[in-house]
Amino acid sequence: MPPRLDPDRVRDAASRFPPDADGDPPPYGTAGFRAQAPILPPVLLRCGLLAAIKSLAAGKMCGVMVTASHNPEEDNGAKLIGPVGEMMSPEWEDYANRLVAAGSDDQLAAEAAAIWRQEGIDSIDEGRGGPVGGVVVGCDNRPSAGLLVEAALAGVACTGVPVVRAGLQTTPQLHFRVRARNLGQPWGEADYYDRLAMGLAKASRDLVGDAVPGRWAAVGTDGLLLDCANGVGAAKAEALIARLREAGCGWRFDVRNVGPRGLNDRVGADHVEKQRALPLGFETVAKGARCCSIDGDADRLVYFAPDGKRGLTLFDGNKIAALLALYIKDALKGMPGIAETFKVGVVQTAYANGASTNYLKTELGLQPVMTSTGVKHLHREAASFDVGVYFEANGHGTVLFSNDLIAKLRKIEYEDEAARDLLAMAEVMNQAVGDALSGMLMVECILRRKVWGLKEWEDMYTDLPSRQLKVMVADRAVIKTTDAETRCIAPDSLQQGIDAAVARRKSGRAFARPSGTENVVRIYAEAASQGEADSLAKDVARLVHKLAGGIGPVP
In terms of C-beta density within 10 A (0-12 exposed, 13-18 middle, 19 or more buried), how is residue 496 classed? exposed
**Residue 303 falls inside a structural domain:** yes
User: Which tens digits make up the pLDDT trace of 262-289?
Assistant: 999 999 999 999 899 999 999 999 999 9
Lowest mean pLDDT among 78-92, 168-182, 196-210: 196-210
d(CA 142, CA 173): 17
Upstream peptide bond of 260 is cis (omega within 30 degrees of 0): yes
* pLDDT greater than 50 at residue 210: no
What DSSP letter does each residue of 351-391 carry, written as one string? Answer: TS-HHHHHHHHHTT---PEE--SSHHHHHHHHTTSSEEEEE
248 and 354: one domain? Answer: no
Query: Letter for the amino acid at 426?
Result: A
d(CA 294, CA 269): 5
364 and 266: one domain? Answer: no
Question: What is the tally of helices (H) and strands (E) in the chain?
Answer: 20, 19
147 and 255: one domain? Answer: no
**Overall average pLDDT of the 425-452 stretch:** 96
State the pLDDT at residue 132.
65
Which whole-number Å values give the CA distances from 290 to 9, 284, 460, 485, in the listed order?
Answer: 53, 13, 17, 34
State the pLDDT at residue 513.
95
State the pLDDT at residue 250.
86
156 and 220: one domain? Answer: no
State the pLDDT at residue 336.
79
d(CA 240, CA 234): 10
**Residue 187 falls inside a structural domain:** no
What is the strand order of the sheet 397-401 is part of? 369-370, 344-348, 387-391, 397-401
Contacts for 334 with CB less than 8 Å, ≥ 6 apart: 416, 417, 418, 421
State the pLDDT at residue 31.
83
* pLDDT greater than 70 at residue 535: yes
d(CA 257, CA 268): 9
Query: Letter for the amino acid at 333?
Result: K
Q: Which residues of 280-296 are buried (b: 16+ CB within 10 A; e: fewer)?
A: bbbeebeeebbbbbbbb
326 and 389: one domain? Answer: yes
Q: In DSSP terms, which residues pair with 288 in a beta bridge? A: none
291 and 335: one domain? Answer: no
pLDDT band of residue 243 (cuts 50, 70, 90) is: very high
Phi-psi category of residue 524: left, alpha or beta, with phi > 0 → left and psi -120 to 50 → alpha: beta
Q: Give me the long-range contacts of 410-414 (CB less than 8 A, separation at least 24).
A: 412/338
123 and 218: one domain? Answer: no
Please state the φ and ψ torsions of residue 205, each to the nearest 5 degrees. 50, -110
User: Which tens digits make up the pLDDT trace of 443-454?
Assistant: 999 999 999 999
The CATH number of whichever domain residue 517 belongs to comes to 3.30.310.50
* pLDDT greater than 50 at residue 134: yes
Give the number of domains in the chain.
Answer: 4
| DSSP state, residue 26 | P
Please state the φ and ψ torsions of residue 68, each to the nearest 5 degrees. -120, 20
State the pLDDT at residue 207.
53
**Residue 64 falls inside a structural domain:** yes
**Residue 505 falls inside a structural domain:** yes
**Overall average pLDDT of the 65-90 stretch:** 95
305 and 321: one domain? Answer: no
- Listed in sequence order, the DSSP H helices in 205-316 are 216-219, 233-246, 269-275
Contacts for 411 with CB less than 8 Å, ≥ 6 apart: none
User: Which tens digits make up the pLDDT trace of 506-534?
Assistant: 999 999 999 877 789 999 999 999 999 99
104 and 247: one domain? Answer: no
State the pLDDT at residue 20.
79
pLDDT band of residue 222 (cuts 50, 70, 90) is: low
Other C-beta atoms closer than 10 Å to the C-beta of 246 total 11
* pLDDT greater than 70 at residue 129: no
Which whole-number Å values give the CA distances from 142 to 29, 63, 70, 299, in the listed order?
Answer: 20, 18, 11, 16
Catalytic site residues? 69
In terms of C-beta density within 10 A (0-12 exposed, 13-18 middle, 19 or more buried), how is residue 76 classed? buried
**Residue 185 falls inside a structural domain:** no
Between 204 and 464, the more confident residue is: 464
pLDDT band of residue 317 (cuts 50, 70, 90) is: very high
State the pLDDT at residue 452.
94
Between 220 and 173, the more confident residue is: 173
Domain C-terminal end among 265, 284, 309 = 309
* pLDDT greater than 50 at residue 169: yes
Provide, rounded to the nearest whole percent, the portion of the chain with pLDDT above 90.
84
**Residue 184 falls inside a structural domain:** no
State the pLDDT at residue 516.
75
**Residue 238 falls inside a structural domain:** yes
**Overall average pLDDT of the 294-299 stretch:** 98
106 and 11: one domain? Answer: yes
User: Which tens digits make up the pLDDT trace of 42-56?
Assistant: 999 999 999 999 999
**Residue 273 falls inside a structural domain:** yes
Contacts for 304 with CB less than 8 Å, ≥ 6 apart: 272, 278, 291, 292, 293, 312, 313, 314, 315
Enclosing domain of residue 511: 466-547
**CA angle centred on 254, ends 249 and 260, rounded to 5°:** 120
* pLDDT greater than 50 at residue 218: no
Domain C-terminal end among 289, 309, 329 = 309
271 and 370: one domain? Answer: no
**Overall average pLDDT of the 127-153 stretch:** 85
pLDDT band of residue 292 (cuts 50, 70, 90) is: very high
Lowest mean pLDDT among 89-93, 139-143, 185-189: 89-93
State the pLDDT at residue 117.
92
Lowest mean pLDDT among 14-23, 254-263, 269-278: 14-23
The CATH number of whichever domain residue 397 belongs to comes to 3.40.120.10
State the pLDDT at residue 24.
83
Domain C-terminal end among 291, 309, 327 = 309
Query: Letter for the amino acid at 274?
Result: K
Query: Letter for the amino acid at 398?
Result: T
pLDDT band of residue 217 (cuts 50, 70, 90) is: very low
229 and 89: one domain? Answer: no
